[in-house]
Amino acid sequence: MNAPAAVPPAAWWDAFFAPRGIVIVGVSRDPSKLGFGLIRNLVKSGYAGALHLVNPKGGMILDHPVYPDIASVPDPADLAIIAAPAAAVADTLRAVHARGIRAAIIASAGFKEVGKEGAALEVELGRLAHELGVRIVGPNCIGIADMHLPMDTTFLPPPATAPGEIAFISHSGAVCGAVTDIANGRGFGFSKLVSLGNQVDLTETDFLEALAGDPHTRVITLYMEGVGDGRRFVDAASRVARQKPVLAIKVGRSAGGRRAASSHTGALAGAEEGFDSAFRRSGVVRVDTLEQLFDWARALAWCPLPRGRGVAILTNAGGPGVLAADVVEANGLELADLAEDTRAALRRLLPAAASVANPVDMLAAANAELFAACLGILLADPNVHGVAVLTPPPPMTPPEAVAAALLPVIRGSTKPVVVGLLGASLVRPAVQLLSDARIAVYTFPEQTIAALGVLARRAEWLATAAPSVAEPPVRGQAALEALARARAALGEPGGWLAPEDAAAVLEACGIAVQRIQAAGSAAQAAELARKLSFPVAMKLASPDITHKSDVGGVVLGLGSREAVEAAFETVMRTAKAARPDARLLGVHLQKMLPPGQEVIVGAVRDPQFGPLVMFGSGGVEVEGLKDVAFALAPLPREEADAMLARTWAGRKLGGFRNLAAADREAVLDALVRLARLAADFPEIAEVEVNPLRALAVGQGAVAVDVRIRISGAGS
């Protein structure tokens, strides 16, 4: 499919990445100071523009004159780097603006990262930048670098990395310093390096959008600690990822970051479910480690994409081949079934003891020419979509000779080839040779196969159409009126709606609900049950008890007046004993539904990405099983379908052993409508249907227990 048109760089881009002149404010001649590191790196990087240094003491530093103030700086001057004390940064920014400079990198620390006083300085800095129209990277950052211009505005220790195809955007300056050294040791380079710092102005989303149009960047990588505007990030990443791969490592995944909530949905929607859903929606590839981030980035930058999942493994040792084969399926790949012509060609070249199955084991004596010839044969097989070449140091052939023989075959292939050179010192020259040629090379079999896996997933994702939310909004007149009545009945700024009011809201959105009736006495309950028609279900009515079954507040299958009256007394007595402080309003009654499968659907508001919708196994064990999937709302039908496929609850809707198939289409419809409800009504903090009973195929899905919480004082 055709990729979206390239996004042009933003108006501020040239000021940061193509400045005609750079002003360093707070430069130092002391080699131990950051202000010296800034000028040192700019000079060492080979920046060809004008360099203007500012320090009241004047003089010369590294053969460049030092001006006493910003106003004295000559033209051209497009970008300012500020290394002044935090308290002086605002006045320095005013002077930068007065000089006509509209872009600044603020390396200075001492802002929100140090406490309340610093946070107040940062708020003022943000206000001032907006007022003056000066775009800012930082504060508390190490700067930016363009390895192709070249230009290095950071104070990182040299040497800088070589020019490459990978852009790196980081919320951590320390991580920037680490990955530049890693890149130098692993034989890859960067196109752009961006340390965001405290993001008083420009954010990861701004640079993500701008990098989409950068001709030197083939892959964009991010180290993220959070996100400022979650929905804007998703919108931008959705566009950019169709043009260039975007990979992210998001830190802070611990359970300590989870927020309290009073529904199953809220309790299960931990801090990371929002990021997982956002990355999945936008096509951002989430990685678990920095090593994985750059392993996969190199593969995506340097390899063609495969046209299928079939992989071949070529090795001179059985052990590495088995290790690789063991992780093929886990990476979404398949061991290719080699064609008979391929096997015959391999047999003609290899000794009788060699294996021509997949993995192909050429045995330890394989020389460089045999590696190249066998690779060519495998690449010619139509069943093979990618190849992993794995070798420890060959006993009779230098590893660099093998690498040199492989190079022309790999370069001439339209299929991806990744290489695993198992070892360290003995394979270092071969690793360097392949890396210099932009061939993805790894140390372990598992890494090598994982790189092929991310290539296959990228190819399959690009082949799918971008999801669109075409379903009509539910914020129609009926839904508006139902919610207005419910809020009026609530009589508070926020809190849980009465079950009958929550059911009315859901019905107004087109979701079938098993209507509920309230009874305040045993006699009233028995009469309502008669009108509903036996058998009925009884549930405790209490605004103070969230999970009714925990206190014996749910009784099913009541088939007579006498059974209803007895159940009423038992429920009220048991609940009073368990929760003497709770308000007990009576019970709710419902007609029992036909048999079916029970699932849970719900929605909750994520502080960074807005409404999230959940689907999974329902009933009382939902939190124990944790068989759930989350996605951003509103929800494209294709994504709703994928949510069902990711859970056992969704998969068994098609039937399993003696479990009859249920109405999967009705469940999908309810899930999409619930997501739309959460998206269209921001005042809804939580909504949960547990269970949603999926009846027989063609019979629909019915919400049995509905809970809706309105934001406000009760949030």
- Write out the DSSP string of 230-266: HHHHHHHHHHHTTTS-EEEEE---SGGGPPP-SSHHH
**For strand 684-694 and strand 597-606, is the pairing parallel, antiparallel, or unpaired?**
antiparallel
Which residues of the chain are modeled with pLDDT < 70?
1-9, 253-271, 469-475, 620-621, 623, 713-715
Residue found under tokens 């801090």: 271
What is the CATH T-level fold of the domain 303-463, as seen in this structure?
Rossmann fold (3.40.50)
**Alpha-carbon torsion 384, 388, 392, 398, what sign?**
positive
**pLDDT tens by residue, 464-511:** 977 776 565 566 778 888 888 888 877 777 788 888 899 999 999 999
Strand partners, 582: none
pLDDT of residue 498: 86
pLDDT of residue 714: 38
Q: Do the beta carbons of residue 62 and residue 43 sit within 8 Å?
A: yes
CATH top class, domain 515-592 = alpha beta
| Among 286, 331, 284, 280, CA closest to 639 | 280
Q: How many CB atoms lie within 10 A of CB 655?
A: 14
DSSP letter at 713 equals: T
| Among 397, 459, 405, 403, CA closest to 431 | 403
DSSP string, 53-74: EE-TT--EETTEEEESSGGGPP
pLDDT of residue 547: 78
pLDDT of residue 340: 97
Helix axes 271-282, 230-240, angle to 10 degrees: 30
Q: Do domains 303-463 and 515-592 have the same CATH topology?
A: no
**For strand 706-710 and strand 495-496, is the pairing parallel, antiparallel, or unpaired?**
antiparallel
**pLDDT tens by residue, 349-397:** 999 999 999 999 999 999 999 999 999 999 999 999 999 999 999 988 9
Cα of 119 vs its chain's centroid, Å: 28
pLDDT of residue 715: 40
**Token digits for 531?**
């009108």
Distances from the Cα of 354 to the Cα of 294, 366, 406, 420, angstroms: 34, 10, 20, 20
Burial status of residue 528 (CB atoms within 10 A of its CB: 0-12, 13-18, 19 or more): middle
Q: Rounded distance, CA 398 to CA 451, Å?
A: 25
| CATH code of the domain occupying 13-296 | 3.40.50.261
Parse the chain into domains and list their residue ranges.
Answer: 13-296, 303-463, 515-592, 597-710
CATH superfamily of 597-710: ATP-grasp fold, B domain (3.30.470.20)
pLDDT of residue 69: 96
Secondary structure (3-state) at 560: coil
Q: Do the beta carbons of residue 362 and residue 316 sit within 8 Å?
A: yes
Q: How many CB atoms lie within 10 A of CB 476?
A: 14
